[in-house]
Amino acid sequence: MKRIIFQVFGVILLVPAVGMATLRFENRNADGPSILFPGGEMVSGDLHTGPEPDWAFTNDIQTVELQLNNPMASRLIWILEAEGRPFIISGYMTTVLGKLWKEWAFEADRGNNEGVLRVDGVRYPRRLQRITEGDILDGVSASLLQKYVGVPAPGADAISATRAGIEAGESWVFELVPREVN
């Protein structure tokens, strides 16, 4: 009887695990990420040319697609705007989950930081520049609290606490700096 129970339990675990692995494998070369899985190179969409846009339009967008060029992979990620500049944030960086799940942030911090941001079908060539200090972190913290935490008018204490978490390395902030495409 134990053997049958173990076999049934094994099948119940094996089928979803194989299904998830197959879906992840199939999505690795897709044009962008899916909701659950990273994707491949983002090739569709117009390539932005001209002056920098007013990034305030991203205040109404929850997630964008970000592709790093080395390794070539894309994912969905939160976007913030502060002082007219675009930023992305990666949380849980001091946790085991963060170290496993946020491999892209470690790659970008090591220098593999060139990629493409795709927002509403438009691709923006970018370089990710990690920000660990400076007054801009107050604006990034306020934007994070308003957009993703739901604090309509964050006070100085909340902004200071969020900034302290960034400065301590619990969350990493990257500015999406324009780059030239060859």
Instruction: Give 57-75 pLDDT, tens digit per residue.
Output: 999 999 999 999 887 889 9
Q: Three-class SS of residue 34?
A: coil
The DSSP 8-state label assigned to residue 121 in this structure reads T
With b for 16 or more beta-carbon neighbours within 10 A and e for fewer, the 30-43 pattern comes to eebbeeebbbbebe
Q: What is the mean pLDDT of residues 73-94?
A: 94
The DSSP 8-state label assigned to residue 129 in this structure reads E
Chain position carrying tokens 């520049």: 129
Average pLDDT, the chain: 87
